[in-house]
Amino acid sequence: MTRRIPHLRWWITALLFLSTVINYVDRQTLSILARTVQNDLGMSDLDYAHVVQAFLLAYTLAYLVAGRVTDLLGTRLSLAVFLGWWSLANLLTGFARSALSLGVFRFLLGLGEAGNYTAAPKAVSEWFQPKERALAVGIYTAGAMVGATISPPLISWLGGNFGWRMAFVATGGLGLVWLIPWLWLYREPWRHPRITPEEAASVPSRPPAPAASRSEWQSWREAASYREAWLLMSARLLTDSVWYFYLFWFPKYLMDARGLTLAEVGRIAWVVYLAADLGSVIGGALSGRLIRRGSAPVRARLYVMGSAALVAPLGGLLALRPPLEIALLLAALVSFCHLTWQVTLTALVVDIIPQRIVATVFGLVAAGSGLGGFLSTDVIGRLVTAYSYAPVFALMAILHPSAFLLIRRIR
């Protein structure tokens, strides 16, 4: 007899957490080793910006199809394909011999990494009620911040002891190991042999009814018909630009503008990403708590997002070049607010979109993330090269309030 697993949905969340840790370790490996890689391959800051853009271009394009692939293949198979692809791409980065080949491998990485963020929301829509959704999203999103938190010391140690190429090979292998427990554990709730009767009765999803034949064009047209999807896509375009700056450029800022060594960055930069961890979990719990107190789900999500948008602009004070301790505190505050915003926005998508196309719509929404990062990275590279980091910090400070003005009327 197959053994039942109590609280199976939370074990699945744990695996999504780990996939997101791996996702961010793989993308952070280059940003932590950027100066070392640039020196070895003879790359300028603009060359580096173009390599980051290659990743973000692929990431954006992949979102447009990753959601649809997720809805067609299902959560289990699609996430296995996506994670296996990006793990191999990260491993191959260790064999780059020029800025061009480095950009090609990071482009391939971006094609796979987007799928983590279409498959995970679909899993949440299948396994969680509205009052638990934002917390589940917060927990797996915290994996991104754990990945970003452990990356500075881990990658610095690997690069310092084994060389930057071996750092990519080692981190790329992590995802291939993760595939084993994922393929063993994940099934949809209605067909999972290890789900308890109590949990089966509480999950929101049931076996899908036979659907009328629909063309791909009809499915895409339905997904694009949601006005909310376009508003949320625009919001992510603006606000994820902030996160990509802190993810890809802040370690470089500490080295280039503050004179820290790679080892020193490894010792302190994790504080910023730990704050993001806290934001994803605490922020995810906040709207769920409001829902349990009787607030409508959409209203609860918007209240939390509005609060985050009010505080995030304090990061603009970094343009004044405060003492290093204050700079880290401000960067940590922005990270906390952004992840509170992001996990709540993700739960909002799951709340308002039918489950049958939630991954497709989320792919459209999340494409705004990659597009925002792609466009802002070129702007950042030019501002840093021509001026300094100060105008970049000032620009980042206005993006969350601007995004909230777009979405505040969603119902």
Backbone phi, psi, residue 331, to 5°:
-65, -40
From first to last of its 411 residues, the chain has per-residue pLDDT tens of 578 888 888 999 999 999 999 998 998 888 888 888 888 888 887 888 888 888 888 888 888 788 888 888 888 999 999 999 999 999 999 998 888 999 999 999 999 998 998 899 889 888 888 788 888 888 888 887 788 778 878 888 888 888 889 999 999 998 999 999 999 989 888 888 888 888 877 777 666 555 555 566 666 777 777 788 888 888 989 998 898 888 778 888 888 888 888 778 877 877 887 888 888 888 878 888 888 888 888 888 899 999 999 999 999 999 999 999 999 999 999 999 999 998 899 888 878 777 677 778 877 887 787 788 778 877 888 888 888 888 999 999 999 999 999 888 777
* 93 within 8 A of 110, measured Cβ to Cβ: no
Maximal CA-CA distance, the chain: 68
Judge if pTM exceeds 0.75: no
250: helix, coil or strand?
helix
* Both tokens assigned to 394: 């000032």
For residues 3-29, one letter each, b for 16 or more C-beta atoms within 10 angstroms of the residue's C-beta and e for the rest, the string is: eebeebbbebbebbbbbbbbbbbbbbb
Of 231, 223, 179, give the one whose Cα is nearest residue 71: 223
Supply the DSSP string of 89-155, one letter for each residue. HHHHHTT--SHHHHHHHHHHHHHHHTTHHHHHHHHHHHH--HHHHHHHHHHHHHHHHHHHHHHHHHH
Distances (CA, A) of 294 to 287, 300, 303: 11, 9, 14
